[in-house]
């Protein structure tokens, strides 16, 4: 390693392979909830659940639905036609995933 220095005195080699910690995969619903709270609402202390009204309660506006649609497509790996996106169908996370499921069924997935 270093001339005149014992391996024990020099410490661990810099190329020690470290073990990766297991990161549990969170489900799509929780990923969407986390995204909405962290990236869309961004208000301290606000918490939402699957059935929390988002648009009708004023937590998000209808323009934000485009961002949520893109995130939903990313999480579910499903294409949702833009014409299917309406505030009433995207008011809760539960409704978002139901709409996604219907779109996937219509596309034969």
Radius of gyration (C-alpha) of the chain in whole angstroms: 23
Name the token pair of 4. 């005149």
The answer to whether the beta carbons of residues 68 and 90 sit under 8 Å apart is: yes
Helix, coil or strand: residue 37: helix
The answer to whether the beta carbons of residues 91 and 54 sit under 8 Å apart is: yes
Domain ranges of the chain: 23-106
Annotation: CATH topology of 23-106: 1.10.1200
In degrees rounded to 5, what are phi and psi of residue 53?
A: -65, 130
Q: What is the pLDDT of residues 7-66, one digit of tens each?
A: 555 555 444 444 444 333 458 999 999 999 999 999 989 999 999 999 999 999 888 988
Q: Is the pTM of this model over 0.75?
A: no
The answer to whether the beta carbons of residues 27 and 93 sit under 8 Å apart is: no
Q: What is the pLDDT of residues 90-106, one digit of tens each?
A: 999 999 998 888 776 66
């Amino acid at each position: 390693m270093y001339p005149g220095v014992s391996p024990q005195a020099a410490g661990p080699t810099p190329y020690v392979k470290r073990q990766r910690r297991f990161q549990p995969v969170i489900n799509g619903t929780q990923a969407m909830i986390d995204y909405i709270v962290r990236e869309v609402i961004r208000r301290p202390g606000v918490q939402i659940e699957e059935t929390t009204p988002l648009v009708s309660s004023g937590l998000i506006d209808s323009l934000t639905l485009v961002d949520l649609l893109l995130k939903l497509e990313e999480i579910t790996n499903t294409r949702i036609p833009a014409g299917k996106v309406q505030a009433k169908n995207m008011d809760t996370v539960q409704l978002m995933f139901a709409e996604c499921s219907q779109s996937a069924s219509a596309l034969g997935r």
